[in-house]
Amino acid sequence: MICPRCDSKEVEVMVESPVGNVWTVYICNDCYFSWRNTEGEEITNPEKYSKKWKLNREILDNLQVIPPIPPLKEQA
Ligand SMILES: [Zn+2]
């Protein structure tokens, strides 16, 4: 299994359908993209995934940290 978004091979099963073995959700341990195997090829197939949204190792290494949420203000 290859991640459609970043082409990593570090992919594992996140969850399977609780009844009937109908779908499987995979997650990428490099970019944290997750997808269900029943989605269209534009989501599941690395070659058909939109190039606009592709990530690579260089981009992942340089992503900015999401700023923390500040504490809630005291209500008057
Ligand atoms: Zn990925």
**Domain extent listing, the chain:** 11-55
What does the pLDDT read at residue 3? 98
Q: Report the predicted TM-score, pTM, of the whole model to 2 decimal places.
A: 0.80
List residues, by chain if needed, whose CB lies under 5 Å from ion ligand 1.
Answer: 3, 5-6, 8, 28, 30-31, 33
Contact assessment for residue 45 and residue 54, using Cβ atoms and an 8 Å cutoff: no
Amino acid, res. 35? W
- pLDDT, one tens digit per residue, over 9-43 is 999 999 999 999 999 999 999 999 999 999 999 99
16: CA distance to ligand 1 center in Å? 19
70: CA distance to ligand 1 center in Å? 29
20: CA distance to ligand 1 center in Å? 27
- pLDDT, one tens digit per residue, over 52-61 is 999 999 999 9
CA distance 28 to 32: 5
